[in-house]
Structure 1
Amino acid sequence: MRVTVLVTVLVLVLGLGGVLLWQHSYDLNEQSVTINHGGHLLHGVLATPTTGTRHGLVVHLHGDGPVDATHEGGYRPIWEANAKAGYATLSWHKPGVANAPGNWLDQSMTDRAEEAVAAIAWARARPDIDGDRIGLWGASQAGWVLPKVVARTPVRFVLAVSPAINWLQQGRFHLLAGNPTEAQLTRSDTTRRLLATQASFDDYTRAMGGETHGMTPDRWRFITKNHTADATPDLPALRGVPVLLTLAGHDRNVDTADTERGYRTALAEGGALQVKHYPDAAHSLVKDTIERSDLKLTLTALFAPRALFATGFLDDQQQFLRDLG
């Protein structure tokens, strides 16, 4: 009896292990790359299709936070969709993440754009990349970076995923979406007044009665540097460029109506804008029902990572790239 139980357990373990390996086996090739950007090194990953010798390229621009090149593996289903459309993908660790040099909290949105421009120049010099078919994929905070990149170097397309328009308005929307207390609203108002005067972190700490509420000196410096970000004056750079704007039905981070209005207004003349809405999606384009449950999120990420994303999201991005050729 004991032997039978042990054998059954072993079979289950081996079976689950096989499922994990199969689900996390993607139809693409990955290689580590290093890009020189003005004396600074970007450490990243180039993921290429398994067939063909010369490919278009999707350059990934991250949202907020200490994100590594693969977003802890979460990007790979997107990369696979790109590869099926004949496109490679380039992504890199944010400075200070995964042993990459630097500190991403030292960066402005302009710094991040210049970083991307350097990465595109590096890619155009490669014989396996078609320099005329290089475009951008950017999520959330990257919404302030995408048009800055396009203003600096030609790109074939832009995939904008849950981008925001105005930093302060986006922050307020996110706060209100969480049903804040009066104390939280007061802290937000105080923070905005401090930012307007370029106050120091010590000023912030004093104004908060000695409580930092999770704020750090690095994060305060980052916010001080970027809180005036507004994509509105930069968005016209996208005119004439095919843009796929992806918006989530359960976005609690970004006011999607404001974003759509901003893109449509800026690109009304000479624009090639497509807008896709995903009613079942959260801000990250993961299904909202999955994102709200830690258990569902963990199990889906382990056993069905492609199923994390909103219905149609991967297929639509793949089709967008196929239509570009």
Structure 2
Amino acid sequence: MKDTRTARTLGRRGRRRRRVRAALAVLAAVVVVAAGLGGLVVWQNTYELREEPVVIRQAGRTLHGVLALPVRGKGPFPLVVFVHGDGPVDATHDTFYRPMWEAFARSGYASLSWNKPGVGGAPGDWLDQSMDDRAAEAADAIAWARGRPDVDGARIGLWGASQAGWVLPGIAAQDRRIRFVIAVSPAVNWHRQGRYNLLAELRRDGASDEEVATALRRRETGLELLGRGASYEEYVHALGDPDGMTAARWRFVTKNHTADASADLPALRGIPVLLVLAGHDVNVDTAETEAAYRRLLPGPALRVAHYPDATHALVRRALEDSSPRLTLTALCAPRALFAEGFLADQARFLTTVETEGARP
């Protein structure tokens, strides 16, 4: 009996050891997979460029930025100056810019970007800025860059997205040495863009006719308040629920709601312009934008690139429609976030700039 009990005990111990070994094997496999995924994430988020944190002090202004340089060489390099869209954007746009910086660096270009005021410890508040303020800020950054021995001051151009559509032409109007412009999903008229965005989002969300009519009435009330310079308190009193409109945001809109790029767009005539448009843009009326650019920038210097499967940010629509896929791609394959051809087409545009003369 004792031998039988001993055998059973040993059998149970053997099974427990086998289960422990199996559990350890599974754990080891998980660790290996996790390490592999971690290595993949690190590798995919390592870029072929040199990043230098910079503090730009120019004309009494202080900007906290990043200068991204090609891996090899001392320059002087041609430079792409990044102009952000709306919102509290830091210099890398939460790393979103880095695949573009890498593509530009491989083409021999440096890139310069900076935190918006109030973002990442930078002084100021971006919500206090007008579009003219933003253009002046960029002009200061360009003047600073022209003082660096590793930057070719005669070959500096602009990259800007969305709200930057109201800033890029203003920079070019001030600085006749701007060499090229890449305009990604740029807006033209603040009021028309706002109406388009409102209706596009309502359609996307399946709003009823009554909901659409109510939203348009609220919008008209808001425009009337803006037109007479009403205070934020008047806005809340008239519309009730502010629906995300803070006092600071109302101040920003009050400063900028009359923005229209049409007046300054002719300043881009005679230099290479790449206009990038997405097929699923609910923020900007791309048809209106293209018509305005073609009308105001006639001639071969304007190129228009369409990406039918892209959203406003030039991200592939299938990814933006799925938060898990978007997050996984951003972590494991950030270069694959963008619409097919977007990175390569911009780099190709920069190579053509090198063969063309400066603006007259």
Q: TM-score range by the shorter chain?
A: over 0.9
Q: Deviations over 1:107-132 (max 9, x none)?
A: 00000000000000100110000111
Corresponding residue for 1:196? 227
1:205 aligns with 2:236: yes
For the residue of structure 2 that corresponds to 1:192, the secondary structure is: helix
Once the two structures are superposed, residues 49-92 of structure 1 have per-residue CA deviations (whole angstroms, 9 ceiling, x without a partner) of 00121111000000000000001001100110110110000000
Identity %, equivalent residues: 60
Q: Which residue of 2 aligns with 1:187?
A: 218
C-alpha deviation, 1:233, in angstroms: 0.8
1:121-270 residue pairs with structure 2 within 5 A?
A: 121-153=143-175, 154-179=177-202, 181=211, 182-209=213-240, 211-268=241-298
Distance 2:150 2:178 in 1: 17
Amino acid paired to 2:274:
L
In structure 1, what is the Cα distance between the partners aligned to 2:319 and 2:79?
30
Determine if contact 2:58/2:144 at 8 Å carries over to the other structure.
no
Matched position secondary structure for 2:261: coil
Partner amino acid for 1:256? T
Aligned to 2:234, what secondary structure does the other structure show? helix
Q: Distance in 1 between matches of 2:262 and 2:293?
A: 8
Which AA in structure 2 matches 1:35? Answer: I
Residue by residue over 1:182-241, the C-alpha shift from the partner in whole angstroms, topping out at 9 and shown as x without a partner, is 3322211111111111111011011013x2111111100000000000000110000001
Tell me, yes or no, if structure 1 residue 111 matches structure 2 residue 111.
no
Q: Which position in structure 2 is the counterpart of 1:44?
A: 65
Encode CA deviations 1:140-174: one digit per residue, 9 max, x unaligned: 00000000000111211000000010001000000
Cα distance between partner residues in 2 of 1:37 and 1:262: 34
- Letter of the aligned partner of 1:322 in structure 2? T
Question: 1:18 — aligned with what?
Answer: 39
Instruction: Identify the residue that residue 6 of structure 2 maps to in structure 1.
Output: none
Number of residue pairs matched by the alignment: 323
- Aligned equivalent of 2:331: 302
Question: How far apart are residue 38 of structure 1 and its match?
Answer: 2.8
Tell me the amino acid that sits aligned with residue 342 of structure 2: F
Deviation, 1:40, is 2.4
Q: Which secondary structure does the structure 2 equivalent of 1:99 belong to?
A: coil
1:284 pairs with 2:287: no
Structure with greater helix percent: 2
Distance, in Å, in 1 between the alignment partners of 2:244 and 2:297 is: 38
Residues 37 and 115 in structure 1, CA contact (< 8 A), matched pair in contact too: no
| 1:288, distance to aligned residue in structure 2 (A) | 1.0
SS at match of 2:186: coil
Q: Residue by residue, what CA displacement relative to the aligned partner does 1:273-310 show, whole Å, maximum 9, x if unpaired?
A: 00000001000000111111111110110011000000
CA–CA distance in structure 2, aligned partners of residues 213 and 247 of structure 1: 29
Aligned residue number for residue 27 of structure 1: 48
d(CA) in 1 for partners of 2:352, 2:69: 19
Which secondary structure does the structure 2 equivalent of 1:98 belong to? coil
| Alpha-carbon distance between aligned partners in 2 of 1:50 and 1:111, rounded to the nearest angstrom | 33
Paired with 1:286 and 1:37, the residues of 2 have a C-alpha distance of 34
Query: CA RMSD, aligned part only?
Result: 0.9
Letter in 1 for 2:132: T
1:290 touches 1:297 (CA, 8 Å); kept in 2? yes
**Partner amino acid for 1:121?**
A
Contact 1:278 1:310 (C-alpha < 8 Å) held by counterparts: yes
C-alpha distance in structure 2 between counterparts of 1:59 and 1:203, whole Å? 39
Q: Using structure 1 for the length normalisation, give the TM-score.
A: 0.98
- The letter of the residue matching 2:293 is Y
Q: Which has the larger radius of gyration?
A: 2
Query: What secondary structure does 1:43 align onto?
Result: strand
SS at match of 2:28: helix
Counterpart CA distance in 2 for 1:293 and 1:7 is 31
Runs (4+) of structure 1 moved beyond 3 Å? none
For the pair 1:6 / 2:27, whether they are aligned, the reply is yes
Unaligned residue ranges in structure 1 (runs of 5+):
none
SS at match of 1:170: helix
Distance 1:317 1:236 in 2: 22
Q: Secondary structure at the match of 2:263?
A: coil
Gaps of 5+ in 2: 1-21, 355-360
Find the aligned partners of 1:273 and 1:322 in 2 and give their Cα distance. Answer: 15
Alignment-mate amino acid for residue 178 of structure 1: E
Kindly provide the amino acid, as one letter, of the partner of residue 166 in structure 1: N
